[in-house]
Amino acid sequence: MEYQEPIKFDTTMSENGVERNSDYTFTLKPAKYWRIDFGVQAYSTSGIAEFLFILNGGQVATMPIPSSSGQNHYSFSFIVPAKENSVLKILGTGHPIDLDPHQPNAWLTIQAIADL
């Protein structure tokens, strides 16, 4: 069975127009091009895992986490066009992802860069 769960964030920085939802998704209110910056201290001891970036139900980016025995810092950035009220979700999938117990959650920055 495939492991899949939403990522819970310690820190989320964004400008006006981004709403953090109770289910760990983010609503991008205005129609714009958005820059997404994501980082995490994580590892997967049982095999390759991935973070999936889902916008309105469709996958827009993937960040692999290779199998390792210790914490590694991973960061990833991309730009996505989003219509008004688009919903961004970030999921862990594949093998279980172990997050750093001293920094248990990921960080995320969402920044508008241009009108759509």
> Of 67, 43, 63, which is closest to residue 51 (Cα–Cα)?
63
Two structure tokens written together for 17:
């127009």
**Over the stretch 85-101, which tens digit does the pLDDT of each residue have?**
999 998 888 877 777 66
What's the CATH code, domain 3-115?
2.60.120.40
**Where is average pLDDT lowest: 12-16, 34-38, 108-112?**
12-16
Q: What is the pLDDT of residue 16?
A: 80
How much is the pLDDT for 67? 79
Q: Where are the domains of the chain?
A: 3-115
- Position 43 scores a pLDDT of 76
Q: Of 4, 7, 11, which Cα lies nearest the Cα of 110?
A: 11
Positive/negative CA dihedral, 87, 92, 101, 72: negative
Among candidates 22, 25, 21, 35, which has minimal Cα distance to 110?
35
Instruction: Dump pLDDT digits (tens) for 23-72.
Output: 888 999 999 999 999 988 777 878 888 889 999 999 999 998 887 777 78
Is 60 exceeded by the pLDDT of residue 1? no
Nearest 10 degrees: Cα torsion 63, 78, 12, 58? -70
Amino acid sitting at position 22: S
Residue 104 has pLDDT above 80, yes or no: no
